[in-house]
Amino acid sequence: MRHATLLRAGLSALLLVGAWAAAGPSSASAAPTEAAHLPASTALLTAMQRDFGISESEAVARLADEKAATALEPKAQRAAGSAFGGTWFDAESRKLVVAVTSASKADAVRATGADVRIVEHSAAQLDAAKARIDALPAPAGVSSWRVDPARSRVVVDVVASERRDNDVRAFVAKARKAGPVTVETTAEAPQTFAAGTVGGDPYYTGNVRCSIGFSVHGGFVTAGHCGGAGQSVRGWDGSAIGNFQGSSFPGNDYAWVNVANGWWTVPVVLGWGTVSDQLVRGSNEAPIGASICRSGSTTRWHCGRVLAKNETVNYSQGAVYQMTKTSVCAEGGDSGGSFISGDQAQGVTSGGWGNCSSGGETWYQPVNEILNRYGLRLHTA
C-alpha cells in the first residue's frame, strides 16, 4: 500500500507541474534525465533488451538503423516511382528494403542507400485490391486483412477454429477475386482493450478505463472506442480532465480529449515507476519490421516489431481500416495508450488478441491520421 501511495503521490506532483502526457501498457516513471538527449532512454533500451533478447549495444545500433531507414523511405519511394511496391526494415541486413516491379528502377533505388526486391505487384495494385476487400461485409471468423509488401500479396487472416465456416469460406472466395490474396490463420479474434473501472489508472469515461495516448496542444489523443463525442473524462484521482471533442469507432479508432480543470500536457510517455519517462520528439512513421514499444495503464511497457500496415481489423463492433499490426502484447485497460518508436510517436492502442503472459498481437491507429483528422498539433520536446 505504501508503495502504491508513493507512486500516486509522485504522479499527482507531476500533474501539478504539467506532466500529463501519454500513458499506455507499459510505463516509465522518473522524470526525464540526461539520457533523454541520447538516441534512446535507458527505459527504452532496457525494454528492448528484455523483449528482443538483445544487448544494450545491439539495441542502440538497431534504433539508429531504424531511424536512418525511416528518414530514407520517402526518398527511396520517389526513386521507385510508379514501380514502387512497398517497404520494410530488415533486421538482419539492418537496412530499408524497397520492393519494385521493374528492374529498370532498381539502380535508382539502390543509389538512395536502400536494398531492392523485385516483386510482381505495385503498392498501388495491392492497395486497390485491399480496398475492394474492404467493401465486402466480413463475418466474425475473419480477423483482418492487409497488404504484405514482402510477399506482394494481400493477406487475409481467419480465426483457425472458424476457417471451415460457410460465411468465412464465402468471404475468402470473394476476396480472392479482388486480387492477389493469401489466406492465413490466427489463434483468436481481435478485441478492443478497454476495461471496467479500476482505481488509480489514467482516465475513465463512465465505467470504462482506458489509457492516454499522446499529448497534443490543448489535450490528448486516444482510442475512439473508449468514449463518444461529448462524454466527460475523469483522471486517475476522479477529478475532471475534459471531454471527448471528437471520436470515431468503428471505421476508425481514434479520438481526442481536451484538457482543462487544472490539467496540463507535456510531451512525455509516463512510466508509472517501472522505467524512466520517454520524451516525444516527433511522429515520423516507422517502417514494417522496425522495433516499437507500447505504454499502457494495465501492462505498462512492452516492445515488439511492426508486422504490417494498412490492415483492416474486423472487431465484433465493425471493421476498422488503415491500422498497423505489431507483435506487442496488451490487455484490457491498455486501449488508447502510446505506441512509440525511439522518440517518435506512432499511434494509439486499439485492440488485438492474447495477453502479456502468453503473448499475442496488437493493432494501433496511426497518430498522424488522428492529428490530420482533427487539425491537432503533437506536443513535442
Catalytic positions are: 225, 253, 335
Please work out, in degrees rounded to the nearest 5, the angle formed at the alpha carbon of residue 328 by the alpha carbons of 319 and 12: 100
Q: What angle in degrees, to the nearest 10, is found between the helix axes of 56-80 and 42-52?
A: 90
Q: Which amino acid is at 130?
A: K
Query: Which DSSP string corresponds to 136-172?
Result: S---TTEEEEEEETTTTEEEEEEEGGGTT-HHHHHHH
The H-assigned helical ranges of the chain are 2-16, 42-52, 56-80, 106-110, 123-134, 166-178, 367-374
Q: What cell does 170 get?
A: 464465402
Phi-psi region of 301 (alpha: psi -120 to 50; beta: other; left: phi over 0): beta
Q: How many CA atoms lie within 13 A of 349 on its CB side?
A: 44
CB atoms inside a 10 Å sphere around CB 317:
14
Alpha-carbon span 344 to 214, nearest angstrom = 11
Q: Which strand ranges, in their side-by-side order, compose the sheet holding 84-90?
A: 84-90, 95-100, 115-118
At 288 the three-state DSSP class reads coil
**Three-state secondary-structure class, residue 192:** strand
Residue 196's H or E segment, with its range, is: strand 195-196
Give the Cα separation of 199 and 48 in Å (integer): 29
What is the DSSP code string of 338-380?
Answer: EEEETTEEEEEEEEEEEETTTEEEEEEEEHHHHHHHHT--B--
d(CA 205, CA 266): 22
